[in-house]
Amino acid sequence: MSDYLIAPSILSADFARLGEEVEKVMAAGADVVHFDVMDNHYVPNLTFGPMICEALRKYGIEAPIDVHLMVSPVDELIRSFADAGATMISFHPEATSHLDRSLQLIIDSGCQPGLVFNPATPLHYLDHIMDKLHHILLMSVNPGFGGQSFIPSTFDKLRQVRQKIEKSGQNIRLEIDGGVKVDNIRAIAEAGADMFVAGSAIFNAPDYAEVIRQMRCELAK
Ligand code: DX5
Ligand code: ZN
């Protein structure tokens, strides 16, 4: 597969210079901006909301924005992020009472819907809703913080989800989030992922373009 997408998570960016950071990482060759929304309720951390997304759009960021909602409930924020200029919106199935309704809300808001699975969240949530999905996001760490290590059991889960996608005959992105580095990205792609979130691997490096170049080089092997 040649259309791999690299999505830097701005969770590890310098928030005091966020507009510049996003410009810089896009100029370094990234495809999508990954936007981690945490509410100190569904996850034990607090980040940013739709106002920051809107501010990035006003600043002139035209790249696709991939909003990863780690919040509960989700529906009100889906509406706000759609208005704020989000491109993709995903949420965790445990965080909403009405899974199908929340997915439909994303579709009706004109955004691309996705479902997120924590390391121990069962895949049965995919039953009955696959036809509504644009992407599936597998967490390879427990959500809430950047800079954690990739959980190895995710490889098996990636293969299972890749099989489900093939079986569905649909064109669904398989996104991986957590502990993605230059030295494991190839194995992650081989297990089935085609979209890669990387926070600390990119933003903690002195040269964003060099990390992204090395990642693409691994993916091309
Ligand atoms: C964790 C977030 C991730 C995180 C990834 O809850 O969803 O997007 O920022 O960061 P790294 O790449 O540092 O594991
Ligand atoms: Zn994320």
* pLDDT at residue 2, rounded to an integer: 52
Q: What is the DSSP string of 54-78?
A: HHHHHHT--S-EEEEEE-SS-HHHH
**Model pLDDT, residue 157:** 98
Does residue 183 have an active-site annotation?
no
CATH number for the domain harbouring residue 34:
3.20.20.70
How far is Cα of residue 98 from the mean position of the Cα atoms in its chain? 21
Is 108 marked active-site? no
Burial class (CB in 10 A: 0-12, 13-18, 19+), 2: exposed
Structurally, the chain folds into a number of domains equal to 1
Full residue range of the structural domain in which residue 212 is found = 5-219
One-letter amino acid at 212 equals I
Rounded CA gap, 139 and 120, in Å?
9
Q: Which residue in 39, 66, 177, 194 is the catalytic one?
A: 177
- Residue 1: predicted pLDDT: 40
Atom of ligand 1 nearest to the CA of 202: 12
CA of 207 to the centre of ligand 2 (A): 22
Question: What are the CA-CA distances from residue 76 to residues 22, 35, 155, 220 (Å)?
Answer: 26, 17, 33, 40
Ranges of the chain whose pLDDT falls below 50:
1
Which numbered atom of ligand 1 lies nearest the CA of 144? 6
